[in-house]
Amino acid sequence: MQTYSSFIPKTRTLMGPGPSDVSERVLHALSRPTLGHLDPDFISLMDETKSLLQYAFKTDNALTMPLSAPGSAGMEAMFVNLLEPGDKVIVCINGVFGNRMKENAKRVGAEVICIDDPWGEQTKPEKLERALRQHPDTKAVAFVHAETSTGVRNDAKTLCQIAKSFNCLTIVDAVTSLAGIELCVDEWHIDAIYSGTQKCLSCVPGLAPISFSEHAVQTIQKRKSPVQSWFLDMNLIVGYWGEGQKRAYHHTAPVNSIYALHESLVMLAQEGLENSCQRHASMHQHLKTGLESLGLEMAVDEAYRLPQLNAVKIPEGIDDVQVRSRLLNEYDLEIGAGLGELAGKVWRIGLMGYACKQKNVDYCIQSLGRVLNR
Amino acid sequence: MQTYSSFIPKTRTLMGPGPSDVSERVLHALSRPTLGHLDPDFISLMDETKSLLQYAFKTDNALTMPLSAPGSAGMEAMFVNLLEPGDKVIVCINGVFGNRMKENAKRVGAEVICIDDPWGEQTKPEKLERALRQHPDTKAVAFVHAETSTGVRNDAKTLCQIAKSFNCLTIVDAVTSLAGIELCVDEWHIDAIYSGTQKCLSCVPGLAPISFSEHAVQTIQKRKSPVQSWFLDMNLIVGYWGEGQKRAYHHTAPVNSIYALHESLVMLAQEGLENSCQRHASMHQHLKTGLESLGLEMAVDEAYRLPQLNAVKIPEGIDDVQVRSRLLNEYDLEIGAGLGELAGKVWRIGLMGYACKQKNVDYCIQSLGRVLNR
């Protein structure tokens, strides 16, 4: 076989849709010596990580923890645990991740009612209300808080309020929203939520923070059929991530990744959640001003634009791939391509977590300006 | 909220059932700057990682890659992809992980025929042959190569040979066997196999190397029903992990964990697979000699004993928990408890990967001697 050697990556500036730049502090935490997954010291760390996630999610939910797999598995965990074959669920779709929710719900055998809105616009609350009136036997309503594919913020508070007025469970994708924009799990009555580590937490990719309300937990405990996924079965996972020092082995936790998540959450707590959101908002303003000075236009209406994921219209006559390649190859700067029906039409510039700072905003604007000759 | 600070773990010696000691080289690789999951440099690294896994598995299977989740998800990936509701599968059970296979197979709606053998003994090939004669419509045979819960090596070559003579797919758990004992995926006609990173590869926990034969791939492509798991659907995952430079986004890969896996595989290639297995065999002999000098007895017959996972009988009158706690607290040495029906009856001493060295053997024997007053 050929000879292989150690891989030394370039140091990129990550301003795509995630992963975002990971701080030295988090990378150091990641590389500390591995403990056993049942080591009492590691169990204490698990408990701290749970508390810190409760802080980040603004929830008192006891079942709040990181899942040992990426955000996509977090999404699947929602549907396989809360739905049973034949259950009716409404999924709001205005981008890639709403579509993915639909696909997940179908695969558990649920009856899926879709509420479609154009990509780049918000889910219309009145459409949800109408659908719920037509389908009063709906068990759950699912939607994406921050659509990473379009840069749109859906009105989580209002959508949950409507769902709750019809006694539905609420399932929310907070992959890109957590720690970047306001998110209040308890106050907004979110029953089940998942996020990712590689967005506004600026941790390495690979874990999915999740949280379930008491109502959701009871729903899972009272299931008639077993959860179709053994790996994602919350009834089993609580044996390992639950209360007390005595934990039952379920699977081997990704120990070092949890060191990293813990560190990123400590950093969030030290900055303060509100300050973090404020920083995302203000850096977005700087970025927007800079983009406009280059004659570029934001793709999403200001009223529901995400500060941490900026969809920017690609001007007529500009070669999308060439611009992104030059940014990567000449400036080690990653920005994101459009996804799905927005491919070739927008760039997605992330300002997430540790990457959300003046230095990156300046570098992005300067580099884009050079590449675009503006 | 309370104040949190960075977590600095103790440096333990990990001689339990995994995770095993992770080398400085792998920890350094883990902490290198994060790349985007679609960065061309990262895609090249993915390709190298695939080649290195082919080397470790002794296979030419094109579909050889790490799954972005722990070994337990690797197990689930086998059953959700290869089986459809109503399919008949034979599962050989002689420990915890055989049982877990049964549970996974049931959850995809398969008809499961169990072949039970006592924990601590091998699966009897003649039992498999008899079951296959009774159930000639069996689609797949599944078993565990190295039962981590008991320290038993099952005769993978013979079991696969029998399964193949009945035209069955073969599904093998190689979580603890990969890189520790002989394992020849192609030569033994294994159709689907999964492993973990935290055992004899001595990488951090969190990924599941997997490999599928051409026959397995065709089976997955020709399914009548969709794979019940979106996250584990190999038909989708190949779009990201497949051939060529153009990769479709499926989920965000755990980039840094893959740096670490790559480094651990480079280390394996540099040592040589056969040398690695030889080292596990010879360190096992040293450990066994040392344990016997303390008057301790191995729980598993020499003919099918795993060198990397040593089940040791707990002598009469010895307090299992106290011994393990003292080893951990006084010597920072982790050994494993018995699992399932072997709880309280055996200790499980791992000699895996980077932890499989004379220094650890000596330290383990000396520490055990002090704690046991022998």
Those of residues 250-309 in A touching chain B at CB distance below 8 A are 250-257, 259, 262-263, 265-266, 269
Nearest CA in chain A to B46: A7
Whether the pLDDT of residue A37 is over 80: the answer is yes
Those of residues 178-237 in A touching chain B at CB distance below 8 A are 196, 198, 204-206, 226-231
- Give the distance from residue A124's alpha carbon to the nearest chain B alpha carbon, in angstroms: 27
Residue B1 is predicted with a pLDDT of 64
CB contact under 8 A, B36 and A14: yes
A346 and A248 both lie in a single domain? no
Residue B340 is predicted with a pLDDT of 87
Structural domain including B193 reads: 24-269
Whether the pLDDT of residue A346 is over 70: the answer is yes
Q: What angle do CA A302, A305, A310 make, to 5 degrees?
A: 115
Q: Is B5 within a domain?
A: no
Q: Is A45 within a domain?
A: yes
Whether A37 contacts chain B with CB within 8 A: yes
A211 and A298 both lie in a single domain? no
At A252-298, the pLDDT tens digits run: 999 999 999 999 999 999 999 999 999 999 999 999 999 999 999 99
At B69-93, the pLDDT tens digits run: 999 999 999 999 999 999 999 999 9
B245 and B330 both lie in a single domain? no
**DSSP helix/strand/coil, A310:** strand
- The minimal CB distance from A76 to the residues B1, B230, B249 is found for B230
Nearest CA in chain A to B55: A1
Whether A22 contacts chain B with CB within 8 A: yes
A259 and A289 both lie in a single domain? no
Check which CATH number belongs to the domain holding A221 and give it.
3.40.640.10
CB contact under 8 A, B251 and A72: yes
B198 and B255 both lie in a single domain? yes
Q: Is B3 within a domain?
A: no
Give the separation between CA B340 and CA B355, rounded to whole angstroms: 25
In total, the C-beta contacts within 8 angstroms joining chain A to chain B are 251
Q: Please report the DSSP string for B94-148 in residue order.
A: SSHHHHHHHHHHHHTT-EEEEEE--TTSPPPHHHHHHHHHH-TT--EEEEESEET
A84 and A136 both lie in a single domain? yes
CB contact under 8 A, A205 and B253: yes
Place of tokens 């508070």: A157
The mean pLDDT value for A110-124 works out to 98
Check which CATH number belongs to the domain holding B277 and give it.
3.90.1150.10
- Give the distance from residue B207's alpha carbon to the nearest chain A alpha carbon, in angstroms: 8
Q: Which residues pair with B211 in a beta bridge?
A: B64, B193
B157 and B219 both lie in a single domain? yes
Which residues of chain B lie closer than 8 angstroms to A68, CB-CB?
A: 69-70, 73, 206
Residue A243 is predicted with a pLDDT of 85
What ipTM goes with this model?
A: 0.98
Q: Is B7 within a domain?
A: no
- The minimal CB distance from A52 to the residues B4, B11, B12 is found for B4
Q: Is A1 within a domain?
A: no
CB contact under 8 A, B29 and A6: yes
Nearest CA in chain A to B5: A266
Which of B30, B32, B34, B235 would you mutate first to test chain A, the one with the most A CBs within 10 A? B34
- The minimal CB distance from A253 to the residues B22, B205, B231 is found for B205
Give the separation between CA B21 and CA B12, rounded to whole angstroms: 8
Identify residue A90 by its one-letter amino acid code: I
Q: Taking the C-alpha atoms of A294, A299, A301 and A307 in order, what is their torsion angle to the nearest 10 degrees?
A: -70
A173 and A68 both lie in a single domain? yes
Asked which of B245, B269, B293 is the last residue of a domain, the reply is: B269
pTM over 0.95: yes
Residue B2 is predicted with a pLDDT of 76
- The minimal CB distance from B198 to the residues A226, A252, A259 is found for A252
Residue A1 is predicted with a pLDDT of 64
B201 and B143 both lie in a single domain? yes
Q: What angle do CA A80, B205, A67 make, to 5 degrees?
A: 30
Number of domain units in chain A: 2
Residue A244 is predicted with a pLDDT of 76
Longest dimension (CA), chain B: 64
Q: Is B244 within a domain?
A: yes
Q: Is the peptide bond before A17 cis (omega within 30 degrees of 0)?
A: no
Using an 8 Å Cβ cutoff, are B131 and B90 in contact? yes
Mean pLDDT of chain A, nearest integer: 97
DSSP state of A311: E
- The minimal CB distance from B252 to the residues A18, A251, A257 is found for A18
- Give the distance from residue B141's alpha carbon to the nearest chain A alpha carbon, in angstroms: 19
| Lookup: tokens for A190 | 């979110």
Q: Is A5 within a domain?
A: no
- Give the distance from residue A194's alpha carbon to the nearest chain B alpha carbon, in angstroms: 14
- Which residues, in sequence order, are CB contacts of A56 under 8 Å at separation 6+? A178, A179, A201, A209, A265, A268, A273
Which residues of chain A lie closer than 8 angstroms to B108, CB-CB?
A: 228
Phi then psi dihedrals of residue B56, to 5 deg: -65, -40
A122 and A154 both lie in a single domain? yes
A289 and A251 both lie in a single domain? no
Asked which of A213, A243, A269 is the last residue of a domain, the reply is: A269
Q: How many CB atoms are closer than 10 A to CB B362?
A: 13
- The minimal CB distance from B255 to the residues A204, A250, A263 is found for A204
Task: Tell me how far CA of residue A1 lies from CA of B51, B270, B337, in angstroms.
Answer: 9, 11, 39
Instruction: Kindly give the confidence (pLDDT) of every residue in chain B, 374 residues in length, as a single tens digit, with 9 standing for 90 and above.
Output: 678 999 999 999 999 999 999 999 999 999 999 999 999 999 999 999 999 999 999 999 999 999 999 999 999 999 999 999 999 999 999 999 999 999 999 999 999 999 999 999 999 999 999 999 999 999 999 999 999 999 999 999 999 999 999 999 999 999 999 999 999 999 999 999 999 999 999 999 999 999 999 999 999 999 999 999 999 999 999 999 998 768 999 999 999 999 999 999 999 999 999 999 999 999 999 999 999 999 999 999 999 999 999 999 999 999 999 999 999 999 999 999 999 889 999 999 999 999 999 999 999 999 999 999 99
CB contact under 8 A, A69 and B69: yes
In the structure, what pLDDT confidence band is assigned to residue A64 with cuts at 50, 70 and 90?
very high
B143 and B288 both lie in a single domain? no
Q: What angle do CA B68, B114, B218 make, to 5 degrees?
A: 50
- % of chain A exceeding 90 in pLDDT: 97
Q: Is A4 within a domain?
A: no
Task: Tell me how far CA of residue A338 lies from CA of A17, A28, A316, B41, in angstroms.
Answer: 10, 33, 15, 20
Identify residue B348 by its one-letter amino acid code: R
Asked which of A239, A269, A299 is the last residue of a domain, the reply is: A269
